[in-house]
Amino acid sequence: MALEGLTQENIDQYEAALISEIPDVDAIGNFTLRTRLVATGWTEELYWEIRNRLIERGVLTTGKGKGGSVRRVPPPQAAIAPADVGAETPQDEPANLPVGASEKDLYAPMVEVIKSRWAQDYRLDSLIAEITAAQGSRHTRGKWTRPDITVASFKTYPYVPGRHFDLITFEIKPTNAIDITVIYEALGHRRASTRAYALLHIPESERPGLETMLEEISLEAKRFGIGLVVAADPSDYDTWEELVEAVRHEPDPERLNDFLAQQVSQGFREQIIKWFK
């Protein structure tokens, strides 16, 4: 291996050299980047090992083009801090958000409920949750690949050895934006998660007028194994109703790793590492 015998300081210097050749915004082809570095004394093997280390840590992401390409991954914007299940979380008064509440208004109260009451109901031993919707122009590898809320958790069972890891995603929709496409958006996330949910804000007063739409959405959710939850009050778990249970599946490990590298905060990733040390 090209990195054998190198100190961490040497590796850090190689990583910095490679990153310095990548444009701030645009992608650069592997051929072009590799040629530049080989001209300064690198080997092709060294290029691929350093490049792949940076991709695995979420510093770079891959792109298309002949021979493939790479680009920088901007850091995610501020996220909700991790919290263990069972910790005392101050409970605010119910938000009682209006029918016309925007999707952005729903994130904060819903992530707090997920971290507390929802996690307790699903008997998760530990959990991290953060809002991943607000990432600006951050590159996320295609349409419908960025969930609104991302949750990592592990669970133990009395008769099954080990800790069982889950990455769970939530696609949030306000009352005035609900249609069948919410399931397809959630399905896009499930390529890299173990469970995916569509979480809809529907106040009790609006529920009768949306029953037909909910039936259609439920059928599509069952067809694809997507969980469907309706919340009358985003901040009150007693008003949340699971209409369709999410089917658990095992995503491709590389997709899962890439998702964690690109979509969540450094603190989120570090907490996962601590769980399984």
- The DSSP line for the chain is -TTTT--HHHHHHHHHHHHHTS-SSS-EEHHHHHHHHHTTT--HHHHHHHHHHHHHTTSEEEE-STT-EEEE-PPP---PPP--TTS----PPP----TT--HHHHHHHHHHHIIIIIHHHTT-SEEEEEE-S--TT---SSTT---SEEEEEEEEETTEEEEEEEEEEEEEE-GGG-STHHHHHHHHHHTTSSEEEEEEE--GGGHHHHHHHHHHHHHHHHHHT-EEEEESSTT-GGGEEEEEPPPP----HHHHHHHHHHHS-HHHHHHHHHHT-
The pLDDT of 97-106, averaged and rounded, is 77
Delimiting residues of CATH 1.10.10 domain(s) in the chain: 8-72
Q: Are 92 and 140 in contact (CB under 8 A)?
A: no
Single out the residue of 125, 143, 167 nearest to residue 261, CA to CA: 167
**pLDDT surpasses 60 at 91:** no
For CATH 3.40.1350, list the domain ranges present in the chain: 103-275
Mean pLDDT along residues 82-87: 51
> Tens of pLDDT along 108-154?
999 999 998 888 788 787 899 999 987 544 444 445 568 999 999 98
pTM comes to 0.70
Bigger pLDDT: 88 vs 156: 156
What whole-number distance in Å separates Cα of residue 50 and Cα of residue 187?
Answer: 33
28-29: strand order across its sheet: 28-29, 69-72, 60-63
Whether the predicted pLDDT of 223 surpasses 80: yes
pLDDT tens-place string over residues 257-269: 989 988 899 899 9
Residue 100 confidence class, pLDDT cut points 50, 70, 90: low
Give the tens place of pLDDT for each residue, 59-81: 888 877 777 888 998 766 544 44
Q: In angstroms, rounded to a whole number, what is the distance separating the alpha carbons of residues 118 and 63?
A: 37
State residue 93's pLDDT score.
45
Fold of 103-275: Trna Endonuclease; Chain: A, domain 1 (3.40.1350)
Give me the CATH code for the 8-72 domain, please.
1.10.10
| Residue 111 confidence (pLDDT) | 95
Flag whether pLDDT at 238 surpasses 90.
no
Q: Looking at the predicted structure, is the pLDDT value of residue 56 above 50?
A: yes
pLDDT of residue 206 exceeding 90: yes
